[in-house]
Amino acid sequence: QVQLVESGGGLGQAGGSLRLSCAASPSTFSASAMGWYRQAPGKQRELVATIISPGSTNYADSVKCRFTISSDNAKNTVTLQMNSLKPEDTAVYYCNARSRYTYKVYWGQGTQVTVSS
Q: What is the pLDDT of residues 44-67, one digit of tens each?
A: 999 999 999 888 999 999 999 999
Q: How far is CA 101 from CA 32, 49, 67, 113, in A?
A: 8, 22, 28, 32
Residue 48 contacts residue 109 (beta carbons within 8 Å):
no
Residue 18 contacts residue 10 (beta carbons within 8 Å):
yes
User: How many angstroms separate the CA atoms of 66 and 68, rounded?
Assistant: 7
Residue 73 has pLDDT above 90, yes or no: no
Preceding peptide of 54 cis, ω within 30°: no
Residue 99 has pLDDT above 90, yes or no: yes
Q: What is the dihedral of CA 110, 77, 115, 94, to 10 degrees?
A: -30
Residue 106 has pLDDT above 90, yes or no: yes
pLDDT of amino acid 21 = 98
Q: Nearest to residue 49, comparing CAs of 77, 78, 75?
A: 78
